Structure formats: structure tokens, C-alpha cells
């Protein structure tokens, strides 16, 4: 059975209407909350500028690393949940299909407008395109054209998905992969693209 991304997205949209008194959304085995993407953008892009040009590389590494660890733990929780078991698991024919399931969940979370897989080489490489990432949109709006890709969250998450599928068993597989962003809307490209491959270190 092919992955019905729309069905997954609808279930998440519907489920996210349930919130406790603190606004926490208990869904897919993890605790979610609703944030303005502009708030998250302010936090990460201000962090980058405060670190200064000299420490830009270090700052970017920290942002990507945080996203990778978060994506790794969050999506591990998601795939252990009863919602995943009931809704997504029956659609999966191979281990690799999980990537499509993860991406449908990521889309429903608002992490990208439209995400399409370009290429998946099991165990080696994941390449996908995002059409309206909130980070690139936020960067362009506040700071204009960037010199390098600005979608640190999706970069970390791309690698985390591969870590979960092809790294050592949880929790030892994080950072087995790392991702680059060769195209980014923040640089003036039409879309953002991410390629996750085995880390060289």
C-alpha cells in the first residue's frame, strides 16, 4: 500500500485540536505545542547574529545539532505510538517507507509547505525538496537574501530521519548522518533541498 500522506496529515490536524489547560497537545506519543514560527525564527536568527560572523559556523552547527537531536527523539516517540501503529504502520511495505510517513507528519507539523522526496538510497542517502519552509520565509522577510542556506531545523531533521532508519538502534544512532542544504529559498533559490548522507566523522 502506498503511503497516504493526506490521511496522516488529516489525522494530525484533527488530533491537534485536543489540548490540555497548558496548551500541550498529546499526540503520536509525544507532547506537542503550538508556536508562532516567527517566534522560533527570531530565537534562532538572533542567536546566529549574536554569535557574530567569526562564530557563525559554530552557531549553525549548534542549531542543526539541536534540531537533529530533537527530531531523533521526537520521531522515535512518534513511531512507537499507538497512533503510528494504527494509522501509519499498515501503509508501510518496507522500512524505507517510514521516510514518507515521517515527512507527512513533518508537513502536518508545519515544518514545510510541501515536501517531496527526490531520491532515497536506503542506508545511504536521502534527498528531498521543500517548497515553503518557514525558516527561509522568515529569514527573507526579516533579513533579506542570505549567503548560505538558513533552514537549520530541516537540515537536522533530514539527518535525524536517516539516523532513525539506518543508524544504530535508539538511542545510539543519532549523528550517524548529517545533511547539507544545497538550495535554499533564503539564498534566492526557488525551493529548499536537503541531502542527508553518512557523517564523515
Smallest separation (angstroms) from Zn ion to the CB of 184 = 3
Nearer to Zn ion (CB atom), residue 79 or residue 185: 185
Asked whether 6 and 58 are in contact (CB, 8 A), the reply is: no
Nearer to Zn ion (CB atom), residue 151 or residue 174: 151
Nearer to Zn ion (CB atom), residue 101 or residue 149: 149
Smallest separation (angstroms) from Zn ion to the CB of 179 = 11
C-alpha cell at position 131: 517548497
Rounded distance between C-alpha atoms, residue 52 and residue 59, angstroms: 9
Return contacts of 171-179, CB within 8 angstroms, 24+ apart: 171/72, 171/73, 171/76, 173/72, 174/68, 174/69, 174/72, 175/65, 175/68, 175/199, 177/126, 178/64, 178/68, 179/64, 179/126, 179/155
Smallest separation (angstroms) from Zn ion to the CB of 115 = 12
Rounded distance between C-alpha atoms, residue 24 and residue 26, angstroms: 6
Nearer to Zn ion (CB atom), residue 100 or residue 193: 193
Rounded distance between C-alpha atoms, residue 132 and residue 110, angstroms: 10
Smallest separation (angstroms) from Zn ion to the CB of 99 = 19
Smallest separation (angstroms) from Zn ion to the CB of 192 = 3
Q: Which residues of the shown chain bind Zn ion in the complex (CB under 5 A)?
A: 133, 136, 149, 151, 184, 192
Rounded distance between C-alpha atoms, residue 5 and residue 108, angstroms: 9
Nearer to Zn ion (CB atom), residue 19 or residue 131: 131
Amino acid at each position: 500500500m502506498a503511503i497516504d500522506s493526506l490521511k496522516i496529515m488529516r489525522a494530525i490536524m484533527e488530533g491537534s485540536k485536543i489540548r490540555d489547560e497548558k496548551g500541550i497537545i498529546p499526540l503520536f506519543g509525544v507532547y506537542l505545542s503550538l508556536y508562532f514560527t516567527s517566534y522560533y525564527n527570531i530565537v534562532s536568527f538572533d542567536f546566529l547574529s549574536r554569535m557574530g560572523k567569526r562564530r557563525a559556523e559554530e552557531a549553525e552547527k549548534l542549531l542543526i545539532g539541536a534540531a537533529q537531536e530533537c527530531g531523533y527523539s521526537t520521531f522515535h516517540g512518534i513511531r512507537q505510538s499507538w497512533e503510528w501503529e494504527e494509522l501509519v504502520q499498515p501503509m508501510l511495505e518496507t522500512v524505507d517507507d517510514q521516510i514518507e510517513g515521517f515527512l507527512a507528519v513533518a508537513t502536518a507539523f508545519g515544518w514545510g509547505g510541501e515536501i517531496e522526496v527526490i531520491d532515497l538510497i536506503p542506508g545511504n542517502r536521502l534527498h528531498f525538496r521543500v517548497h515553503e519552509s518557514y525558516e527561509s520565509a522568515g529569514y527573507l522577510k526579516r533579513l533579506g537574501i542570505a549567503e548560505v542556506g538558513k533552514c537549520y531545523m530541516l537540515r537536522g531533521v533530514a539527518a535525524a530521519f536517516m539516523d532513525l532508519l539506518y543508524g544504530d538502534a535508539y538511542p545510539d544512532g543519532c549523528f550517524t548522518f548529517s545533511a547539507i542544504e544545497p538550495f535554499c529559498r533564503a539564498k534566492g533559490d526557488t525551493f529548499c533541498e536537503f541531502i542527508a548522507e553518512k557523517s564523515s566523522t
